[in-house]
Amino acid sequence: MNEELELFLEDMNDQLSIMENTLLDISDISLEEVNKDMIDNVFRAMHTMKGNAGIFGYKTIVDFAHQAESLLDELRNNRISLTHEMIDLFLLINDHSKQLIEVTIKDEQLNDEQLIEHKNLLKSLSSLLNEEDVEVIDNISLGNSVRYRINVELLEDFFKSGMDLLTIMKYLDALGTVIDLKLITDDIPPFNELNPTLAYVKLSFEYETCEAKSEIIDAFEFVVEDIELNIEKIEVKKELDVDIDNIEIVNIKTPKKDDFSPKNILSNNFNLKVDSLKIDKLINQMSELVIANAKITEHAVNSGNTDFQEAVDDMSDILEDVRNGVMNIRMVQVSDSFTKLRRIVSEATKNTNKEINFEILGGETELDKTVIEKILDPLVHIIRNSVDHGIETSDKRIKNGKTAKGSIVLKAYHDSGTIVIQIIDDGYGINKEIVLNKAIEKNLISKDANLSDKEIYDLIFMPGFSTAEKISDISGRGVGMDVVKRNIEELRGEVHIDSKLGFGTTIKIRLPLTLAIIDGFLVESSKLKFIIPLDSIQECIEFTSSDKEEIEQKGYMTLRSNILPILDISKHFSEPETEQKRKNIVVVKYDDYKVGLKVDELYGEFQTVIKPLGTLFKNVTDISGGTLLGNGDIALILDIQKLIEHKITHKEIENGN
């Protein structure tokens, strides 16, 4: 697929997502609460899709979008009233548009089933437009074509608009028929006097279309300030030998009826679409720059030249800002992708006769786009499970003293340099006995296994595990939760379940914010350099002789009346302990746990480019990667999550001496 088509597809998907999201908002409230902005949103998305498709000459999409847009136009002008059937129809239109776009860009045809759906949807739209005796027929002139004479004079700076005339002509071609086009080239100067960046030509043609005149003007809306446009309705179809100099030129501006024309939207809220490969390349180059900067910093420190050091410090600060800016390009709000999940709940609710209120909290939370794309499928699976197995039917809920309407909350927030996504339902909860029995029945565990609650819930992530009494269309066939866990772990994330029988279940996913560069804290232990992710550090404290005594006696130290388990990094990695007068404790936090890491030296903040360590280190679970220091040495990046988890589950917190 070429770059232009990729951008087209991306923009169409954005518009479909806006439309779907708004329709779901509308379906969540009563018809009386639906406001004009919501209808305008849907109209705008459909209008933009039509325009985009027109530019590429995709007539089927243009025609389909046009019909839907006409009905939306009636709604936003209060000529007809919104009904629940219409909301369902627009959701179906949204789905069908996705198929239509997919088929069209592949240059394929709709299959029989899709074709029937296409016709049925158009029929429904026409019927809704006609049933209400809408006065739109004159406007859209269904079936009655009108012929226009169109003259376009390009103003000198036309090319600066960035628009290509061919694109506009393709759009017009999708809406009607261009007849007898003449390119008037008389004003082009002799070759030696030509300024190639200025426009000199005019166009004159007849145009037959069923569309309203405003639609023709819309085709020129991006260049309206760079042309003189004259459109005249002509009654008789005949060849006209037009002398453009004798035509009175009227500069027609796009009517202001659409304050939200794509051009206006662009000028208010400018978005630039960039190939993600270009951003990846930029991030890679940024990584190299960070490493190069570390080398320069090392030289500056060794030189003893304070001016040089200051200059390097300034450069490092700027580099950090630039780095954050570059990394932010990849960060997108999770809410856009979560729309798909709303739809799933909405559809599943209809299929199961359950009433469910689905709420997204923290939708503005940002995450790397790559991570979002990869997490979406696991989330779909979890949400489907919640709808199918988690939430009870209204009857059962009322019987159990709950509200008739169940609740699923999708919550996203940042915590300790990670993003946490929770799926919380107030349904049945998980019956540990059933899970245990099922696991025993499937020979996943022995009969006498003594498991903690967490270990019991983790059984659900084992391959092939399912407690569903019957297979449903929604949650599948009991395969998938193992895949869910694997996908999350591939993103260096983790997933846990917590549940209370009768009250509901919470599934908690924790993911790294980014996969490329982090703010780290450089430390040394047994002559080895380590990086601790800065976001996980709570504080650094000196390791005193009284701390040493306490740890030797109790196995932990007391920090402001709280117990702090200590992990000696040199012991943990089986390195010989060095004779160091002063030792330090770095207090790190992950989830609800805190641990003190005992190290020799603290060097401070360090911009860390995460590099994979290769197969040699594949069994070292507590190291998440490596990074290159300014002097060429390698520092290992501690995986705080794994380090704490491993130590706590194995109850191996060292005595820290």
Nearer to other proteins, 183 or 501 (CB): 183
Nearer to other proteins, 195 or 574 (CB): 195
For residues 143 and 162, which CB has a smaller minimum distance to other proteins in the complex?
162
Q: Which is nearer to other proteins, 181 or 471 (CB)?
A: 181
Give the angle 608-614-616 at the CA atoms, nearest 5°.
120
Nearer to other proteins, 32 or 193 (CB): 193
- Min dist CB 631 to other proteins, Å, is 45
Would you tell me how many other CB atoms lie within 10 Å of the CB of residue 8? 20
200/308 with CB nearer other proteins: 200
Tokens at 258, concatenated: 């659409």
Give residue for tokens 């997204």. 360
Q: Least distance in Å: CB of 159 to other proteins?
A: 4
In the three-class reduction of DSSP (H, G, I as helix; E, B as strand; rest coil), residue 601 is classed as strand
CB-wise, 188 or 361, nearer to other proteins?
188
Local structure of residue 461 (DSSP, 8 states): G
Paired sense of beta strands 593-599 and 562-568, if any: parallel
Q: C-beta of 343: minimal distance to other proteins in Å?
A: 37
Q: Select 196 or 304, whichever has its Cβ closest to other proteins.
A: 196
Q: How far is the CB of 2 from other proteins (least distance, A)?
A: 9
Contact yes or no for 422/382 (Cβ under 8 A) = no
204, 223, 246, 265: which is closest to 11 by C-alpha? 265
Q: How many whole angstroms separate alpha carbon 51 and alpha carbon 258?
A: 14
Nearest distance from C-beta of residue 207 to other proteins, angstroms = 13
**Judged by CB, which is closer to other proteins: 204, or 536?**
204
Alpha helix segments (H runs only) across 56-180: 59-76, 84-105, 112-131, 137-140, 165-175
Nearest approach in angstroms of CB 262 to other proteins is 21
Please report how close the Cβ of residue 181 comes to other proteins at its closest, in angstroms. Answer: 6
Q: Give the C-alpha separation, 126 to 138, whole Å.
A: 15
CB of 265 to other proteins, least distance (A): 24
Nearer to other proteins, 192 or 353 (CB): 192
| CA 332 – CA 365 distance, rounded (Å) | 8
The minimum distance between CB 172 and other proteins, in angstroms, equals 10
Residues 158-217, interacting with other proteins (CB under 8 A): 158-160, 162, 164-166, 169-170, 173, 178, 181-183, 185, 188-192, 194, 196-197, 199-201, 203
Do β-strands 331-333 and 366-368 pair in parallel, antiparallel, or remain unpaired? Answer: antiparallel
State the pairing for strand pair 504-512/406-415.
unpaired
Contact characters 107-146, other proteins, x per CB under 8 A: ----------------------------------------
**Alpha-carbon separation of residue 7 from 10, 60, 376 (angstroms):** 5, 19, 21
Q: Look up tokens 């197969």; give the residue.
A: 615
Nearest approach, Cβ of residue 194 and other proteins (Å): 5
Q: Helix, strand, or coil here: 563?
A: strand
**For other proteins, which is the closer residue by CB, 170 or 611?**
170
Question: Toward other proteins, which CB reaches closer, 166 or 616?
Answer: 166
Rounded distance, CA 240 to CA 234, Å? Answer: 11
Q: Which is nearer to other proteins, 201 or 440 (CB)?
A: 201
The residue among 178 and 244 lying less far from other proteins, judged by its C-beta, is: 178
Helix, strand, coil percentages in the chain from 3-state DSSP, rounded to 5: 45, 25, 30
C-alpha dihedral (434, 437, 442, 447), degrees to nearest 10:
160
DSSP conformation class of 14? H
Structure tokens at 355: 């009433």
* Largest CA-CA distance found in the chain, in angstroms, rounded: 105
**Orientation of helix 36-55 relative to helix 59-76, angle to 10°:** 160
Q: Which stretch binds other proteins (CB under 8 A): 31-39, 81-89, 152-160, 400-408?
A: 152-160
Smallest distance, other proteins to C-beta of residue 218, A: 19
Q: How far is the CB of 155 from other proteins (least distance, A)?
A: 13
What is the per-residue DSSP string for 201-239? -EEEEEEEESS-HHHHHHHTGGGTTSEEEEEEEESS---
User: Are the beta carbons of 157 and 186 closer than 8 angstroms?
Assistant: no
Minimum CB distance to other proteins, residue 380 (Å) = 39
Minimum CB separation from other proteins for residue 221, in Å? 18
> For residue 215, what is the enclosing H or E element?
helix 213-219
Eight-class DSSP state of 254:
P
Site for other proteins in 364-393 (CB under 8 A): none
Interior/surface letters 148-159, b for 16+ CB within 10 angstroms, e for the rest: bbbbbbbeeebe
For the range 130-136, what are the long-range contacts, defined as Cβ-Cβ under 8 Å and sequence gap of 24 or more? 132/74, 132/79, 132/80, 134/74, 134/79, 134/80, 135/79, 136/70, 136/73, 136/74
* Cα separation values, 512 from 409, 493, 570, Å: 21, 6, 26
**Rounded to the nearest whole angstrom, what is the least distance from the CB of residue 649 to other proteins in the complex?**
59
For residue 54, give the nearest of 137, 169, 145, 205 by alpha carbon: 169
- Nearer Cβ to other proteins, position 185 or 452? 185
172 versus 518: smaller Cβ distance to other proteins: 172
Query: Residue 154 interacts with other proteins (CB under 8 A)?
Result: yes
Minimum distance from residue 102 beta carbon to other proteins (Å): 22
By C-beta, is 192 or 271 nearer to other proteins?
A: 192
Q: Is 648 helix (H, G, I), strand (E, B) or coil?
A: helix
Q: Cβ of 320: how many Cβ atoms within 10 Å?
A: 15
Number of residues in contact with other proteins, rule: CB under 8 A? 28
- Minimum distance from CB of 158 to other proteins (Å)? 8
Residues that bind other proteins (CB under 8 A): 154, 158-160, 162, 164-166, 169-170, 173, 178, 181-183, 185, 188-192, 194, 196-197, 199-201, 203
